[in-house]
Amino acid sequence: MTHRFGLLRRFRFNLPQRIAAGLLLLFLAQGLWLTGRQTLTDRDYQYARCGREMWEKPSPLAGYFTSCGNIHDGVLAYRVAGLPLTLNLALQRGLDHFRKPEDRVVQTSGEVSSWEMRHQLTHVLLLLRLPFLFAGCLLGGALWWVTRRLYGNLGGYTALALYCFSPPVLKACVSPNPEILAALGVYGAVYTCIGVAHAMQGPRRKWRPRIVLLTLALGIAAASHIAALPVAALLGLVLMLWVAEGRRSQVLPVVLLASIGALVLAFACYQFSPDAFSYVFRSASGFLWFSADPARRFFTTLSHAGITIATASAALLYLAASRSRYFGNTAPLLCAVVLFPLIMTGAPGMPWLWALPFLFTFLGGVFADAYETPRGRLALAATGAIVLLQAVFCVLSLPGLI
């Protein structure tokens, strides 16, 4: 008990944390604004129906995991989309005891789907999107935590501000899809791998909590999209080998153990159904290839103008200033360069979105180095102008504001 209270006493919500929380609130406000101007789509219906089936009842179709078929594009996205609706229905069932018979959600004639009874279950569209908005906020919090520890407050502010005003990230958070969950899993897994590598320089008792966290992060990646698991594991393995001097022989067993645990977590998301889980490996959903189109489309989109200018400026600074070419900046740059050209060939997917947190980490690190030069104030003013430009373009891209 004393230890737990000690952890609470060490937690601080000072000015840096408040600024980060304010940026995340702006991110959440934009997501809610977009959600309020959306309508229910066939894709929403599919995620709601099949997600609820995973939580409430088996598929009525023999031989399939759900009535949507055997899921191969990220079972976790269906589960997180259906969970709020399932919980909402359970709440409504409880409240039925205090309603008139004609006003009950579950009528005496039989159980009716909450989707079909959406006039009685309010805010269905919002309930479908809240888990993905939460995942987006969680990814932003992870980005802030990593960049602040590596680069200080100003570097953390820069990375988080660009993230919070990134239109593709916002778009991924306001529709049921596996991309933001996969981005969270990949980013968390890579930086947890680096944390494990650092811990391997110390006593073994410090390894275990980080390995458990690594397994969880890889599990999120695997359950979000099966292709995300090998990508995250390979990137993490390379960076661990880079960091873990004197312990490199133990790196591969650690990554393999965490990857096996991640597959077990993904198997659990399929309710330990061998047929449904094996279909993922038979459906070619993990096939990847390379193309320059994702990067070209991203960096030539007008609403990403601030990010494009920031990336070009940071690349020049990275090449020109030797002080910027160290592991903390090179690691996220390497990850972004690897992820941006990846494309899915066997299932829908956007690996370039997984690259964005690494890109923002790289930008935060390079600009943080620039802030510490003799012309730091000029660098800070220029970066502030770039972030403001990106914020303006992002806000103007929101529907209903222009």
Annotate 170-233 with three-state secondary structure: HHHHCCCCCHHHHHHHHHHHHHHHHHHHHHCCCCHHHHHHHHHHHHHHHHHHHHHCCCHHHHHH
CA distances for 146 relative to 191, 201, 222, 251, 358, angstroms: 8, 20, 22, 22, 10
- Rounded CA-CA distance 344/60 in Å is 30
Q: Which residues are within 8 A (CB) of 220 and not within 5 positions of it... i.e. 6 or more apart?
A: 76, 181, 182, 184, 185, 188, 189, 265
What are residue 288's DSSP bridge partners?
344
Rounded Cα gap, residues 330 and 225, in angstroms: 26
pLDDT of residue 63: 61
State residue 195 phi and psi, 5-degree precision: -65, -40
pLDDT tens digit at each of 402 positions of the chain: 445 544 445 667 788 899 999 999 999 999 999 998 888 888 888 888 888 888 887 665 556 777 777 777 788 999 999 898 888 878 877 777 777 776 666 665 555 555 455 545 558 889 999 999 999 999 999 999 999 999 999 999 999 999 999 999 999 999 999 999 999 999 999 999 999 999 888 887 878 889 999 999 999 999 999 889 999 999 999 999 999 888 888 999 999 999 999 999 999 998 888 877 887 777 777 788 999 999 999 999 999 999 999 999 999 999 998 889 999 999 999 999 999 999 988 778 899 999 999 999 999 999 999 999 999 999 999 999 999 999 999 999 988 655
pLDDT of amino acid 59: 60
Looking at residue 310, its pLDDT comes to 97
Contact 317, 140 (CB under 8 A): no
Task: Report whether 364 contacts 156 (CB < 8 A).
Answer: yes
pTM for the predicted model, two decimal places: 0.92
pLDDT at residue 6, as a whole number: 47
